[in-house]
Amino acid sequence: MSEHIVRQTRQKDAIRDALNGCDEFISAQELHRKLEDRGEHIGLATVYRQLNALAEAGRADTVRLDGQQLFRLCGDDGHHHHLVCTGCGKTVEIESPSESWLKGISDKYGFTIERHTLEVFGLCADCRKSDK
């Protein structure tokens, strides 16, 4: 196995491991900083590439918050919906809307649903308290 492939695999594993240690969504820059703090010297561009590859493969969730793309490893069932706090980034997985609701929406507008994601943005209880 070539050194380049070994390095790519080690870097991929390190990125996945660091992301696995995050309960909330995290930016590529924050994840890069965590890796650096752990002594992993992986370029920011590599972190971006690997995170996007995980998202494209359906192994990481991604949301946009304040113009920034954030990532989080998916759970085992591969289908998630979230409440995301716009203040602190806290994320909570929520139940899926009912199939009848989705069918009603798609029928109303003449769509056939192939896949869906649902992120609901607002302030968590802690951020609402600190605003007062």
CATH of the domain at 46: 1.10.10.10
128 shares a domain with 84:
yes
Better pLDDT: 92 or 33: 33
Residues 83 and 56 both lie in one domain = no
Shared domain for 64 and 128, answered yes or no, is no
The residue assigned the tokens 């920034």 is: 68
Considering its fold, how many domains does the chain have in total? 2
Range of the domain at 20: 1-76
Residue 2 banded pLDDT, cuts 50, 70, 90: low
Residues 89 and 72 in one domain: no
- Does the pLDDT of residue 22 top 90, yes or no? no
More confident residue, 79 or 50: 50
Q: Does one domain contain both 86 and 68?
A: no
Share of the chain above pLDDT 90, in %: 33
pLDDT at 47: 95
CA distance 60 to 122: 22
- Model pTM? 0.67
Q: Is 81 annotated as a binding residue?
A: no
Tokens of 75: 């759970």
CA distances to 42, 63, 72, 82 from 11, in Å: 7, 23, 17, 28
pLDDT tens, residue by residue, 97-117:
888 888 899 999 999 988 777
84 and 66, same structural domain? no
**Residue 79 annotated as part of some ligand binding site:** yes
DSSP labels, 44-103: HHHHHHHHHHHHHTTSEEEEEETTEEEEEE--TTS--EEEEETTT--EEEEPPPPHHHHH
Measured in degrees and rounded to the nearest 5, phi and psi for residue 23 equal: -80, -25
- What pLDDT shows up at residue 3? 54
Work out the average pLDDT over 84-91. 83
Q: Does 99 belong to an annotated binding site?
A: yes
